[in-house]
Structure 1
Amino acid sequence: MPLIVKDYKWRQSNTFVIIQIPLHGVSSSKVDVFTSPNYIKASFERYFFEAVLLHPITVSESKCTKTSTEVIFELAKCEEKEWEELEVNLPKKEKLELKLKLIEEEHLRFQEECQKKFERKAELKRVAVREQIGIDTQHRNKIEKIKNEEKTNALGDFQEWHRKVEPKIIELNSDDENDFLIKENSSVKKSDKNEFAKINKIITPTCSVNRRNKIKSTVPMPLPRKSATIRVEFTARSFPTPSRESQLAEEEEWLRKQAEVRRSIGFMSEDLRPEEKNPQYLNSKGQEFLKAGNYLGAISAFSFGIKLCNEYPDLYIGRSEAHFKKENFYKCAQDCSTALDLLRPAVQSNLHQRVTCISRRGMALQKLGYLRESINELEVAFKLNPSDTEIKNILMEYKDQFEKNEQKEKQ
């Protein structure tokens, strides 16, 4: 419980109230100060000082000074008059309610001030963005104008020359179809006649002349493009990364180690004869590994069988048992769900397999922490086969555990 500081001193003038609070040996860096128009507070370690002021003060003109021995409040009065007391004279309960109200008002005022600062800052940011956009637009327009002027200056001489040397219209003026003249533009100088002669030599072989008609240029049309198909073949790889991003030596070392591990657990698909690479043989091989306690070898045998035939439910059931023994409960539940999807329609001949999958999935869910779902699974399995005492015992055990957990939560 904090110690209330009562040995403080205060004095006043017409405009200020000065309060001196001793620190009692506490460092000034540990002092926490709160100031509002009608309430001030100072707390440091186990000491506490507060005052609900008799009259309001101007917070913006007030200040607090921390020295090595005391905290000094210099509070600016809103009105220039003498205070009879420092604090209001109210009962303890009313004083507490007033204090809480003043603190809440100050917090609301502070939040509103922060919101106004944020909005003002956001508005300034928007104005700055608009100004920057305007500056960038002016800069781009200036660059575009310079580019257009340079382009006009560069092409001006060429266009002027082109207007001077361009012939008017090529027409016939005689009965001879191969003899035609070019009417010169009146604006062309005599010195440009040689240019017209050159143009005449160029266009004459590629023009067909019709009497009293304009010459039409005959340009051969290109043939359509031929279609073709491009075939792309990729090199087979054991890793998903492309060869340009891989490290061949490290990959070969990894594959070699994996092969050694598979061979050490008693199963290697490369060691099987062609007649042994069938799902039934691999299922029996996996069952042998299960009986011998070689669960990794069983998982490898069942997995290779699934690669050859992914619709054989016995392989998924066997692999789920191996995963359960290896405490891979999530993979066990997945294999049980896949096997149940394959065991359709639900008939009497696959009842035992369905009960095995449902009960094993329920036990895997219990290991994963889903006790309620586990109980639901085991209840379904027990309804399918009420004579199975093992499922009944496990179900009762899980229900007792669930009830104990609920009792603990209620406590």
Structure 2
Amino acid sequence: MPLIVKDFKWRQTEALIIIQVPLHGIHQSKVDLFTSPKYIKASFERYFFEAFLLYEVNISNSKCTLTATDIIFELVKHEDILWDKLEIDVSKKEKLELKKKLIEEEHKNFQNTCKEKYDKNCHLKKVAVQEQIGLDTKQRDLIDKIRNDEKNSALGDLEKWQQKITQPKIIELPSDSEDSEEEKPIIVPKKTTFVRQKKLPVTSDPVPLPRKTATLKVDFTARQFPTPSRESQLEEENEWLRKQAEVRRSIGFVSEDLRPEEKNPQYLKSKGEEFLKAENYLGAISAFSFGIKLTDQFPDLYIGRSEAHFKHGNFYKATQDCSKAIELLRPAVPSNLKERVTCISRRGKALAKMGYFKEGISELEVAIKLCPNDEELKNALVEMKDELNATENQND
């Protein structure tokens, strides 16, 4: 329930009613006001104030001031008389009905006022549009008038010129008779003569030959990243390259540390084999990869990297390197038989490690056909078949 404010103060003059309502510590921004000619109210948080005025007041000329401590109503009277009291004496029920009636009337008045403003604005817009259309029409008419005047003036000058050139010449000749007292003018019609002009040869500028085509070669700056370079990401990219270089140094191989004479595939192949013997598989992969970057037609580099991937557990990459090495070992000749058998058997073992036992068995069978005396391949085939049978039995 709201607390009714009863400690308000009021005073009057012959023209004004001044009501001072205390805010009781509530901030002025939380005050909600309603005013009408015979009823005013103010609500702020849990407090509520209302007054049913004895007579009507002029709301349009009245004002309400909010201070830090009070609400001050300055209500202008319709008649310059002193009131006996501030409010009318009616029952609570009658006050509720009167309040409801006054609020509804005020809302209707407010709606009517808004509608009148809206209609007035619409009317003003229509008038403005009509005036603008009138101004545009006058402007167009003025432009048409000026254009027609210029046209008529030009046509008039043309007609005068035509009349001037077609007007016959009047030549006065002396009279041969002595008896004539006046000299009569002789009118000689103007003759038009046509002169045949020789046609001159038409000379035109020579058409230039088509431009020669050429191919422009564009070289892009080498980058370690597939995306274009951005200045905003330069620091992050350098930080990433620095970290990668630290990782490569930790595994024992950095391409930037190589001397120019060391940057050849044969040296990198031997470097990778040294890393394989030391079981530094990441270093071996880096060495072989840098050699492949220098030349991608050296099968020994792919064979070495496939072994490093296989021992490091990268079976899928091992199968890729084996396939690439087999492509480079064509045509199949006895001199590269050992390398082909190594690649095929290693690819079969990698497939088996990934769970493709049937494909791995097929690869080992092909390798055994190429090298039937290799007992290690035969033992690997037997073990792979046993693993396949064990896997099928578990699934059953």
Give the TM-score of the pair, scaled to structure 2.
Answer: 0.48
Of the two, which has the highest radius of gyration?
Answer: 2
Give the TM-score of the pair, scaled to structure 1.
Answer: 0.46
